C-alpha cells in the first residue's frame, strides 16, 4: 500500500531578497497540508546564499511528508543566451517557469506558485485539477479584469479576450504536455525578438497557450483588488499590493498572522516603517507607468495595422520584426472569423426554445448561488457605504461602456424618442428587451442626461450573487433582486413601491429571459404591469434594435450597432379594474414593440418552428 495518497510537486522561484516572503508562503502551505499527502518543494534560484537555504530547510524540519530541493539554474540560463527584461517588482526569476518542464523531465505535472502568496487551503486540492490535454490550470488575472488600459492591451496586442487572460503566478502545469508542445523552444524564439514591456513572460504564456488552458476556482488566486472575496484559498499579493511595503492592504491579516508564527513581524514591520513615503508613492506611480506602457504598445499595434491597410510592406516588416506577436490582416481574420462553439450552441438553443414557444427560459444558466437572506439589505441605497459603492459601480460601468464604444466593440447608432422620457411627470415602470448583460447602460446614460429621476433595475437573484467584478456591478448599480426567499421578496416589493411612489424609474425586463442578440420582441409577463397598476404610474416602453456592422467580436460574430427607441408612455386607464389595467398595459406594450420591430426590420413578426 502506498504510504501517501498524493504526491504534490510545488515549484517556487526566488532570490535572496525574497526569502522572508517565501518563508511565509511555505509556512502557510505547511499549515494547510494533510499528512496523507507528500509535498515535494522545489526552490529554483540563481545563486542563493547558504543562509537562505538553511532558513527554508529549517522551516520543514519535523514535517515528514515534506521535502525541499534547491536547483541553481544560472548555468542553464547562460546556455540559453536569453536577454531578460527586469523591472523593479518584476525580476528575472519570473522567467524560470517557462523552462521548468524541460529542466525536470521526470515530472509530468506540478504546481508553480509565486513567493508573494499566503495559502488558506490545501494545495493538493489545486493539484488534483484535471487538465486532460490542456497545458495549464489557471485563474483570470484580476488586475486585467479591473483596469481598462490592461484590457485594451490584452485585446489589441496579445490578441485574446481579456476575460481569458490569466495570471501566471499560480499555475497547475502539465509538464508532459508542455514538453510535447515545445514551450521552451517557442518561448526562446519569442524572448529573443519580443520588445513588449508590460508582462513579458506572462504575455508569452498567454499567447502561446491560447485555447489550451483549464480555468480553476478563482479563489486559488485572489488578489487585493476589487471586491473582497470570502474565504480565499490563496491570496496573491500581486503588483504593488504587498503588506510588507504598504499599509492597509486587503487581506493583510492573513500575511501578518503567518509572519507572527515565524517571529518575522517585528523585522517586517521595521522594514515597512523605514520605507520613505516617496518610495511608496513611487510604487503607485509605477502602476500608472504600466498603464501608459499598455497604451503605447496598443499604439504600436494600431500603427502596424495602419501600415497593412496602406500596403506599406517595408514598414510592416520592420514593425513586425520588433513584435512577432502582431499578426497580418489575413491572420487576424483567421483568428476572428471562426465562431465560438459555445456561442453557436447558445444560438441553436434559442432556435429550439423559440420553436417550442418557451420564451421565458434563459439559454445561459446562472452560476450556482446561495439564496439571499434578509440581513443587511439596502436595496434603496440609503447607507453611506451603499451610496459609495453605487457611485463606483455606475462610474466604472459607464467608463467601461465608453471605452468599448471608443474601441468599436460597442456601436451606438442613436437614440429616438428622448422626449418621451424627458417630459415624463411621474415615476414609471420602464420595460426593455433583454439580449446582453450590459444592455441597460444606454438607457441609464440617457436617464442620467435627460431626467432628474434615478433609475433602479429589477434583476434575478442569481445575477445579484454573481462573483467578481461583474457581480459587484450587478449588486451596486441601483439593482433590486427578485429573491426565492419570501422574506427578502417582501423587501423587494417595498423597495419597488417606494421607488415608484417617490417619482423614480424602475427598469424591468418583462420577457423574463435574456437571449443573446435576439432581435424579436418576446411575449411579456404580467408582473411589471402589476407594479405600474398598483402604484398608479405609467409604463414607458423602450426597445433596442440592432444591425450587423462590418467588424467581428471575439466570438467571430458581427458586432451589433444599437438604436435605443423610447416609445410614448402607456398610462393606466382609470375606468378599468386593477387586474384589467395590468392586462391592458401588457397588451399595449406588446403591440407597440411589434409595430416598432416590423417598421425597423421591414418584416412581419413571426416565430420559427
Domain boundaries, the chain: 6-240, 380-601
CA R_g for the chain: 28
Q: What is the pLDDT of residue 367?
A: 59
Task: Answer whether residue 216 shows pLDDT above 70.
Answer: yes
Task: Answer whether residue 46 shows pLDDT above 70.
Answer: yes
Of the candidate ranges 174-183, 265-274, 565-574, the one whose mean pLDDT is the lowest: 265-274
Listed in sequence order, the residues at least 6 apart from 216 whose beta carbon sits closer than 8 Å to its beta carbon are: 126, 129, 137, 138, 139, 172
Q: What is the pLDDT of residue 555?
A: 63
Q: What is the pLDDT of residue 297?
A: 76
CATH 3.90.580.10 fits 6-240, yes or no: no
Strands 234-236 and 117-119 turn out to be: antiparallel
For the segment 182-203, the average pLDDT, to the nearest whole number, is: 72
Q: What is the pLDDT of residue 270?
A: 82
**Count of Cβ atoms closer than 10 Å to residue 49 Cβ:** 12
For 423, the grid coordinates are: 417630459
Is pLDDT larger for residue 259 or for residue 272? Answer: 259
Question: Cα–Cα distances in Å, from 311 out to 86, 318, 328, 329, 330?
Answer: 36, 13, 11, 11, 13
Of the candidate ranges 57-66, 90-99, 568-577, the one whose mean pLDDT is the lowest: 90-99
Say how far apart CA 472 and CA 38 lie, in whole Å: 39
Quickly state the pLDDT bin for 91 (edges 50, 70, 90). Answer: very low
Is the separation of the CB atoms in 540 and 428 below 8 Å? Answer: yes
Dihedral (Cα; 176, 177, 180, 184), 10-degree rounding: -90
Q: What is the pLDDT of residue 153?
A: 83
Quickly state the pLDDT bin for 468 (edges 50, 70, 90). Answer: low
Quickly state the pLDDT bin for 210 (edges 50, 70, 90). Answer: confident
Q: What is the pLDDT of residue 224?
A: 92
Q: What is the pLDDT of residue 603?
A: 93
Identical fold between 6-240 and 380-601: no
Which letter does DSSP use for residue 17 in this model? G
Q: What is the pLDDT of residue 170?
A: 96
Is the separation of the CB atoms in 137 and 281 below 8 Å? Answer: no
Q: What is the pLDDT of residue 86?
A: 36
Quickly state the pLDDT bin for 82 (edges 50, 70, 90). Answer: very low
Highest mean pLDDT among 43-52, 104-113, 307-316: 104-113
Share of residues in the chain with pLDDT > 90 (%): 42
Laid out side by side, the sheet with 539-552 consists of: 411-416, 558-566, 539-552, 428-431, 505-508, 455-460, 479-482
For the segment 461-470, the average pLDDT, to the nearest whole number, is: 69
Question: For 380-601, which CATH superfamily applies?
Answer: Glycerol-3-phosphate (1)-acyltransferase (3.40.1130.10)
Question: Cα–Cα distances in Å, from 218 out to 254, 273, 283, 467?
Answer: 18, 33, 26, 9
pLDDT digits (tens, 9 = 90+) for 336-394: 333 455 677 788 888 999 998 999 888 876 656 667 787 778 888 888 888 888 888 77
Of the candidate ranges 213-227, 438-452, 527-541, the one whose mean pLDDT is the lowest: 438-452
At 191, which helix (H) or strand (E)?
Answer: helix 183-191
What does 439-502 look like in DSSP terms, one character per residue? TTHHHHHHHHHH-SS-EEEEEEHHHHT--HHHHHHHHHSSEEEE-SSHHHHHHHHHHHHHHHHT
Task: Answer whether residue 329 shows pLDDT above 60.
Answer: no
For the segment 473-496, the average pLDDT, to the nearest whole number, is: 84
Task: Answer whether residue 194 shows pLDDT above 80.
Answer: no
Task: Answer whether residue 119 shows pLDDT above 70.
Answer: yes
Q: Whole-number mean pLDDT of the chain?
A: 83
Q: What is the pLDDT of residue 483?
A: 81
Quickly state the pLDDT bin for 567 (edges 50, 70, 90). Answer: very high
Share of residues in the chain with pLDDT > 70 (%): 84
Q: What is the pLDDT of residue 331?
A: 45
Is pLDDT larger for residue 388 or for residue 234? Answer: 234
Say how far apart CA 271 and CA 293 lie, in whole Å: 30
Quickly state the pLDDT bin for 269 (edges 50, 70, 90). Answer: confident
Task: Answer whether residue 330 shows pLDDT above 50.
Answer: no
Is the separation of the CB atoms in 135 and 177 below 8 Å? Answer: yes
pTM for this model (two decimals) = 0.54
Task: Answer whether residue 43 shows pLDDT above 80.
Answer: yes
Amino acid at each position: 500500500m502506498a504510504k501517501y495518497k498524493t504526491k504534490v510537486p510545488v515549484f517556487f522561484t526566488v532570490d535572496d531578497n525574497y526569502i522572508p516572503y517565501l518563508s511565509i508562503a511555505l509556512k502557510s502551505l505547511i499549515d494547510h497540508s494533510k499528512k496523507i499527502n507528500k509535498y515535494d518543494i522545489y526552490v529554483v534560484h540563481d545563486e542563493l546564499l547558504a543562509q537562505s537555504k538553511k532558513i527554508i530547510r529549517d522551516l520543514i524540519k519535523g514535517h515528514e511528508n515534506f521535502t525541499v530541493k534547491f536547483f541553481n539554474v544560472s548555468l542553464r540560463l547562460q546556455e540559453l543566451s536569453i536577454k531578460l527584461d527586469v523591472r523593479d517588482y518584476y525580476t528575472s526569476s519570473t522567467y524560470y517557469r517557462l523552462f521548468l518542464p524541460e529542466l525536470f523531465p521526470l515530472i509530468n505535472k506540478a504546481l508553480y506558485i509565486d513567493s508573494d502568496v499566503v495559502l488558506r487551503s490545501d494545495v493538493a486540492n489545486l493539484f488534483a485539477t484535471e487538465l486532460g490535454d490542456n497545458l495549464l490550470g489557471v485563474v483570470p488575472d484580476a488586475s486585467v479584469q479591473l483596469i481598462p488600459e490592461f484590457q485594451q492591451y490584452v485585446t489589441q496586442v496579445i490578441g485574446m479576450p481579456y476575460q481569458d487572460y490569466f495570471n501566471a503566478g499560480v499555475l497547475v502545469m502539465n509538464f508532459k504536455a508542455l514538453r510535447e508542445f515545445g514551450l521552451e523552444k517557442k518561448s526562446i524564439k519569442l524572448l529573443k525578438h519580443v520588445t513588449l514591456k508590460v508582462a513579458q513572460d506572462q504575455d508569452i504564456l498567454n499567447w502561446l497557450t491560447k485555447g489550451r488552458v483549464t480555468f480553476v476556482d478563482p479563489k486559488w488566486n485572489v488578489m487585493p483588488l476589487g471586491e473582497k472575496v470570502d474565504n480565499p484559498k490563496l491570496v496573491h499579493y500581486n503588483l504593488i499590493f504587498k503588506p510588507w511595503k504598504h499599509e492597509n492592504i486587503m487581506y493583510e491579516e492573513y500575511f501578518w498572522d503567518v509572519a507572527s508564527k515565524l517571529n518575522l513581524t517585528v523585522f517586517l514591520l521595521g522594514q515597512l516603517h523605514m520605507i520613505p513615503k516617496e518610495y511608496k508613492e513611487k510604487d503607485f506611480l509605477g502602476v500608472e507607468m504600466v498603464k501608459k506602457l499598455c497604451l503605447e504598445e496598443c499604439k504600436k499595434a494600431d500603427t502596424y495595422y495602419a501600415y497593412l491597410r496602406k500596403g506599406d510592406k517595408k514598414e510592416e516588416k520592420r514593425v513586425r520584426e520588433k513584435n512577432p506577436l502582431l499578426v497580418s490582416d489575413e491572420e487576424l481574420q483567421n483568428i476572428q472569423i471562426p465562431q465560438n462553439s459555445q456561442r453557436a450552441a447558445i444560438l441553436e438553443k434559442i432556435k429550439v426554445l423559440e420553436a417550442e414557444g418557451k420564451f421565458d427560459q434563459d439559454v445561459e444558466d446562472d452560476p450556482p448561488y446561495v439564496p439571499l437572506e434578509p440581513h443587511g439589505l439596502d436595496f434603496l441605497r440609503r447607507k453611506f457605504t451603499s451610496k459609495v459603492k453605487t457611485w463606483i459601480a455606475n462610474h466604472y460601468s459607464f467608463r467601461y461602456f465608453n471605452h468599448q464604444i471608443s474601441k468599436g466593440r460597442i456601436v451606438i447608432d442613436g437614440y429616438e424618442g428622448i422626449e418621451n422620457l424627458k417630459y415624463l411627470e411621474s415615476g414609471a415602470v420602464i420595460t426593455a428587451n433583454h439580449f446582453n448583460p450590459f444592455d441597460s447602460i444606454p438607457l441609464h446614460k440617457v436617464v442620467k442626461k435627460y431626467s432628474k429621476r434615478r433609475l433602479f433595475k429589477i434583476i434575478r437573484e442569481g445575477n445579484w450573487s454573481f462573483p467578481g467584478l461583474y457581480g459587484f456591478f450587478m449588486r451596486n448599480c441601483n439593482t433590486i433582486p427578485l429573491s426565492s426567499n419570501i422574506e427578502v421578496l417582501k423587501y423587494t416589493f417595498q423597495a419597488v413601491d417606494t421607488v415608484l411612489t417617490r417619482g423614480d424609474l424602475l427598469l424591468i425586463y418583462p420577457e423574463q429571459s435574456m437571449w443573446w442578440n435576439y432581435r424579436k420582441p418576446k411575449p411579456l409577463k404580467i408582473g411589471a404591469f402589476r407594479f405600474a397598476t398598483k402604484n398608479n404610474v405609467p409604463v414607458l416602453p423602450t426597445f433596442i434594435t440592432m444591425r450587423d456592422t462590418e467588424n467581428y467580436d471575439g466570438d467571430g460574430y458581427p458586432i451589433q450597432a444599437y438604436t435605443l427607441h423610447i416609445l410614448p408612455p402607456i398610462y393606466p386607464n382609470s375606468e378599468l379594474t386593477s387586474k384589467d389595467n395590468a392586462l391592458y398595459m401588457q397588451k399595449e406594450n406588446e403591440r407597440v414593440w411589434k409595430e416598432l420591430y416590423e417598421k425597423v426590420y421591414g418584416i412581419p413578426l413571426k416565430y420559427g418552428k
